[in-house]
């Protein structure tokens, strides 16, 4: 399921990148004064930067969440393994004592 979400994110990001490039080309082709053109390009660049920062922030929070989930899973598995090892040691000691008494 995450592969599907990842694919959709890639498609959306590609679409947005294409739209930004198309808008930039449209601005460059349209007849405007140099000052108007620079203002439009600056606005477009500022919008793109804001969107990229938003995507970056979202990605960071998802990565942090995944890391925390991984840490919790690791601790859970570590606890289970430690309990199993301890139970094995106890069983081995009981068996040693049983054999000594026989």
- Categorize the per-residue pLDDT at 1 as very low, low, confident or very high, splitting at 50, 70 and 90: very low
Distance, CA of 92 to CA of 87 (rounded, Å): 9
Angle among Cα 47, 53, 56 to the nearest 5 degrees reads 140
| Average pLDDT of the chain, as a whole number | 83
Inform me whether the pLDDT recorded for 3 exceeds 70: no
pTM of the model: 0.47
Domain housing 22? 2-101
Give tens-digit pLDDT for 42-89: 888 888 888 888 888 888 888 888 899 999 999 999 999 999 999 999
Supply the pLDDT for residue 102: 65
| Count of structural domains, the chain | 1
Distance, CA of 41 to CA of 56 (rounded, Å): 22
């Amino acid at each position: 399921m995450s592969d599907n979400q990842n694919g959709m994110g890639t498609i959306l990001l590609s679409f947005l990148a294409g739209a930004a490039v198309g808008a930039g080309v449209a601005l460059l082709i349209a007849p405007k004064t140099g000052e108007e053109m620079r203002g439009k390009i600056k606005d477009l660049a500022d919008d793109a930067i804001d969107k990229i920062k938003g995507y970056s922030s979202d990605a960071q929070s998802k990565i942090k969440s995944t890391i925390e989930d991984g840490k919790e899973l690791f601790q859970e598995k570590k606890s289970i393994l430690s309990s199993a090892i301890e139970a094995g040691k106890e069983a081995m000691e009981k068996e040693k004592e049983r054999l000594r008494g026989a």
